[in-house]
Chain A
Amino acid sequence: MFSLTRDPIVPPVLAAAGAGGFVAFDGKVRHDHAGRTVVALDYEAFDELVLAEGRALLAEATAQFGLLEARCVHRVGRLAVGDTAVWIGVAAPHRREAFEACEWILDQLKRRVPIWKKEHFADGDSGWIGSDVTPGEAPVTEENFYSRQIRLNEVGAAGQAKLEAARVLVVGAGGLGCAAIPYLAAAGVGTLGLCDFDRVEATNLHRQVLFAARDVGKPKAALAARFAQRLNPFIAVRAHGARLTAESAPGLFQHYDLVLDCTDNFATKFLLNDTAVAMNKPLVQASLYQFEGQLHLYDPAKAGGCLRCVWPEIPPEGCVGSCAEAGVLGVVPGVFGALQAGEAIKFLLGLGEPLSDAVLLFDLRTLATTRIKRAANPHCPVCGDGAPPTEIDLDPFAPGRDFSRWTVVDLREDHEPRPLVELGSTPWRHQPLSRAAEWLAALDREQPHLFVCGRGLRSGNFARRLRREGWPHAYSLAGGVDLALKARPRSA
């Protein structure tokens, strides 16, 4: 709730149930401004505009920080020193979000909401000033912000307009994201989405340079979004704090033109690849190991193929070391994240030679770069022309259809919960994937099998592997049992 008042502010009472923290800010008229004694202040606002922008800003804060309640009251008219000019109060499940959100709202209010103030000084002088501009400081405009970039012949005003119109999603605000995000924001990418479900940990700080020691425990997406928005107030920054899944990724991708893969695990990298291929979005990907890394641009308009053209299956997590296991020099993600931002900007501007048909390998120790040509693999399970469909949804099990010859094979492990889906009389066998070598030979490869797991990733990989090994009727349940259960009843 956002309101304006001509009367002295009476702080509202926040009553949100379930709140673990209430934070309030009471902003008063200061006794001096830039060394001069202030006696009074006039605030003036264009009410409709201020109310609309103020409400929008509280709604954004509520979504971004998960607030239970957010209120702001701004006073207008003549105020004396010591009067409350603005009051902000928020309620959140935990204190961190409450503190963060309260400060964010104040910053955004000063930047975005058009309220002017006229200061009356003790010496009789007075003057209107923008609320957040210190006298003597040149105001920041889009013109001067981008002037050194627009000066490049290859960019110019037309190129800047292309960047402003572009919508880029960065998945992962870790080491790579922390380097890519500032350059994309500063370049003026008009809509910048930042997706990360993680919180800052102490072990991140040597490479994730958008975060400070005091940020440990705070959500990365919100912190990175705040950094980017402070850096460049002329762009729209959106924080997406939920974990990306096969079900949610398409809904997020549809709002963006290009995606940066700044993640650090195979499962997410393959999910981003598959979604990008399915939705025809270019994907700029980097992956690191200790002192070196790989950079890819997968452009659906070019013949360079995708991640699965090279690695059709998701490698087992841990088959090569992650940053946690193998270690990584902090500057390495810095270099690669900046290169990712560079490839994205080049792509959006149509500048230079994009890396769409090769992988770039770079080793910081020797400064050696190696380019290896990639080509689309016609047998690629996601972008190949003849890729046999291995994924099916539950429609074939609609009542009245004959699936008596099918067998459902549940690949989930013994230690996993295994809720089942009602599939009529179709036999359902539990055969853990980890013991496939023991039971696979007992299955008849000429019969149709529907492999299932929790989310459809393991079963998808397994069905594709069997197809390559000559099983013509191996299928995977798309989205896994978890998705099916949303639409189907649980069996007894």
Chain B
Amino acid sequence: MPDLLQLKVQYFAVFREQRGLGEESLASAATTPAALYAELQARHRFTLAPEMVRAAVNGAFAPLDRPLASGDTVVFIPPVAGG
């Protein structure tokens, strides 16, 4: 079994609402934001389809297939339209 990555995850808008918190540290076998979202979506029943999700890694928007490393901060951002 590969080593788990230690990650910090931040949630915004609908993710924060559905997760019930804004930030958490976790250990994950996911090596990309896409895999991490799939894992978290299954665990927390996020309603947003994966193609609508954007991720930022360490403070910058990043492709969903960017490799993750231990210690990374991953932010999941849904589209938002309210005004």
Contacts and interface: CB of A to CB of B under 8 A. Distances in A.
Interface of A: 172, 174-177, 262-266, 269, 286-290, 292-294, 310-311, 315, 317, 319-323, 326, 328, 333, 361, 363, 366, 368, 370-375
A383 B80 CA distance: 21
Contact of B14 (A269, A321, A371): A321
B9 to A, nearest CB: 13
Contacts of A311: 52, 54, 79
Q: Is the interface of A mostly helix, strand, loop or mixed?
A: mixed
B2 interface: no
Interface in B25-83: 48-49, 52, 54, 56, 59-61, 75, 77-83
Given A292-B12, A373-B60, A328 B52 contact: no
B8 to A, nearest CB: 12
Given A373-B60, A374-B61, A288 B12 contact: no
23 contacts: A262-B83, A264-B82, A265-B81, A287-B82, A287-B83, A289-B12, A289-B13, A289-B78, A290-B13, A294-B77, A310-B54, A311-B79, A319-B48, A319-B49, A323-B83, A361-B77, A363-B12, A372-B56, A372-B60, A373-B56, A373-B59, A373-B60, A374-B60
B4 to A, nearest CB: 25
Nearest to A264: B83
Contact of B83 (A263, A315, A368, A371): A263
A115 B48 CA distance: 63
Indicate the size class of the contact surface on chain B.
20 to 34
A328 B12 CA distance: 15
A266 B82 CA distance: 9
Nearest to A375: B61
A191 to B, nearest CB: 23
A289 B80 contact: yes
B22 A322 contact: no
A290 B54 contact: no
A288 B56 CA distance: 19
B75 A175 contact: no
A363 to B, nearest CB: 7
Contact of A289 (B10, B22, B82): B82
Most buried by B among A315, A322, A328, A371: A315
B22 to A, nearest CB: 7
Contacts of B10: 370
Nearest to A309: B61
B81 A287 contact: yes
Most buried by B among A175, A290, A320: A320
A269 B81 contact: yes
A310 B56 CA distance: 11
B61 A320 contact: no
A323 B59 contact: no
Given A289-B14, A321-B14, A373-B60, A315 B79 contact: yes
A294 B56 CA distance: 14
Contacts of A326: 14, 17, 82
A172 B81 contact: no
Contact of A288 (B54, B79, B82): B82
A287 B81 CA distance: 5
A206 to B, nearest CB: 14
A245 B14 CA distance: 29
A320 B56 contact: no
Given A310-B61, A372-B59, A373-B59, A319 B79 contact: yes
A370 B75 contact: yes
A292 B81 contact: no
A321 B83 CA distance: 11
A264 B14 CA distance: 16
B17 A333 contact: no
A175 B82 CA distance: 9
B39 to A, nearest CB: 21
Contact of A320 (B13, B59, B83): B13
A320 B54 contact: no
B52 A172 contact: no
B12 A361 contact: yes
B61 A373 contact: yes
A374 B54 CA distance: 12
A323 B56 contact: no
A368 B59 CA distance: 14
Contact of A315 (B52, B59, B61): B52
B83 to A, nearest CB: 3
A263 B82 CA distance: 7
A293 B52 CA distance: 17
A174 B52 CA distance: 26
Contacts of B61: 310, 372-375
Given A319-B52, A326-B17, A375-B60, 10 more contacts: A263-B83, A287-B79, A290-B82, A292-B16, A294-B77, A294-B80, A321-B14, A326-B82, A372-B56, A372-B59
